[in-house]
Amino acid sequence: MRANAVPYGIAEVDAMQAVRHWVVRHAGLVERAYGALYAVLRAMGPLARAIGPTHLRKPVTGVERAVKGFLFDCRMCGSCALSANGMACPMNCPKQLRNGPCGGIRHDGTCEVDPALRCVHLEAWRGAARMRAGQLALAPTPPPRHERAGNSTWLPLMVGDEPDAAAESDVPVRPSGSRLEALFASGTFVVTAEFSPPDSADPADVFIRLDPFRGNVDALNVTDGSGANCHMSSLGVAVLLAQAGCEPVMQVTCRDRNRIAIQGDLLGAAAIGIRNVLCLTGDHVGKGDHPGARHVGDLDSHTLLATARQMRDAGRFLSGRKLSAAPRLLLGAAANPSALPLDVEIGRLRRKIAAGAQFVQTQYCFDLERLDEYMRRVRAEGLHQRAALVIGVGPIASAKTARWLQENIPGVHIPAAMVARLEQARDPREEGRRICIELIRGIRAIPGIAGIHVMAYRMEHLLPSIIADSDVLAGRTPLFSATSPIPDHRGQP
């Protein structure tokens, strides 16, 4: 159940989930029944208008709440997305995602926040396969209109006052001016790495950690409250990296800010020259060091992509208000080639690209066979030609670390043979470095991949030797060169 849901007993929860799962299994039947209901509601229009919506609001809302509550555990969000979501109510997602599943789905199909709950969005994919369209629509389900919460969605059908459907933008993509975008366009195999912000207000604590990355990467991806833990902001660190001559990729998560704050951050980032943005849902607050914080989740990664694209290409806020100057942005998204089932993961990628993703950074990939199968599917649909795929890799310090990653990071799969190598190695850290080099070489041999993204948390000192021994740069000078200037921030903060 959602964190802010009414606390039901175990029997009630099991009963509600049983009904919801029945509805998904019979989504085609429910779709036809809903179609008949909508026809009846529209036919009642003249009578409803004669009586007046004010008099009908309470009884119609009560009936709708009872019917949809029983069938779908409906939250009466006022922006119903059942028919677009495989007849599974997205508001039952603990992260409040309207477009999912998130990257945290477990291998057994359960929720990363509540392991007792089967992923609502995985159920949605299954339900959609049984409906007339046969799959979820490419266009993302719009974010909810919170001012409509608690209101009926049937009454507008009766009185002819339905909200306008969001139209998919066909406005041409505006170039961002990003150096990373130019590198992707040239077909160069890129190297990016993850940079974790410090728990500090001193810019020197950022600059002092840059040495392993200089001369070895094209861009640094700045995490935004990774693990739902608080650090220096992604925007702040991205600005400091740019001052140091680095091409930053600013992560933006939907966990902590609503649509007003996020759009303001995108404008501010673009105004100071930050061009690359990775759009993420974000880890749930319950996983971090502030579990008492409110999980916002006003947007999700799909609607964030669509919002940023609309701001950039159409020059409009999500509200429709025009911008005097549109932001120049290169938009990215996350994917997980090791997630199961593969059909769902390919569908996620397809929808994120349709929403506006121009590059895609993946979770750790330790299984080259799974990655090869994933990329075969990607190439078959031509998705690699629509977005640059950057594959996540990283050294593993020990067999214990490998097991921890598999148990605690949903979607990470490490082959048993790889764990055994670490277990038997005389120097596990060095063996982990060798494995990372082997993976990079293997990844480069798979067609359709645009680069690698190295995640070496607390092992950044290994990155120079990994890059050199894998020959991934092939002798070229990366964007973040060894001669990049070092800013003078003495006396700060």
Question: Environment class of residue 143 by beta-carbon count within 10 Å: exposed (0-12), middle (13-18) or buried (19+)?
Answer: buried
Q: In the predicted model, is pLDDT for residue 108 greater than 50? A: yes
- The pLDDT of 105-109, averaged and rounded, is 80
Residues of the chain above pLDDT 70, percent? 93
User: Residue 363 is encoded by which pair of tokens?
Assistant: 């979770």
pLDDT tens profile 458-481: 999 999 999 999 999 999 999 999
3-state secondary structure of 167: coil
Q: Amino acid letter at 449?
A: I
Reduced to 3 states, what is the DSSP secondary structure of residue 235? Answer: helix
pLDDT at 373 over 60: yes
At 313, which helix (H) or strand (E)? none
Determine contact, residues 317/263, Cβ cutoff 8 Å.
Answer: yes
CA-CA distance, 332 to 192, in Å (whole number)? 13
Q: In CATH, what class is 179-470?
A: alpha beta
In the three-class reduction of DSSP (H, G, I as helix; E, B as strand; rest coil), residue 461 is classed as helix
φ, ψ of residue 221 in degrees (nearest 5): -95, 115
Query: Which pLDDT value is given to residue 6?
Result: 43
113 or 187: which leads in pLDDT: 187
Q: How far apart are CA 105 and CA 107, in angstroms?
A: 7
pLDDT in the model for residue 7: 46
Burial of 176 (0-12, 13-18, 19+ CB in 10 A): buried
Examine the pLDDT at 432 and tell me if it is beyond 80. yes
Q: At 335, phi and psi to the nearest 5?
A: -145, 170
The confidence score (pLDDT) of residue 96 equals 83
Domain ranges, ordered by start, for the chain: 10-159, 179-470
pTM given for the model:
0.89
Are 309 and 356 in contact by the 8 Å Cβ rule? The answer is yes
User: pLDDT digit string (tens) for 58-85?
Assistant: 999 999 899 988 988 888 998 888 888 9
What angle separates helix 399-408 from helix 416-424, to the nearest 10 degrees?
150
Which of 325, 322, 328, 324 has its CA nearest to residue 308? Answer: 328
Nearest to 121 by CA among 160, 149, 91, 147: 91
CA nearest to 156, candidates 69, 264, 38: 38
408: confidence class by pLDDT, cuts 50, 70, 90: confident
Mean pLDDT is lowest, of 201-205, 254-258, 487-491, for: 487-491
Pairwise pLDDT comparison (238 vs 411), residue with the higher score: 238
- pLDDT at 340 (0 to 100): 72
**Helix or strand run (H / E) with residue 418:** helix 416-424
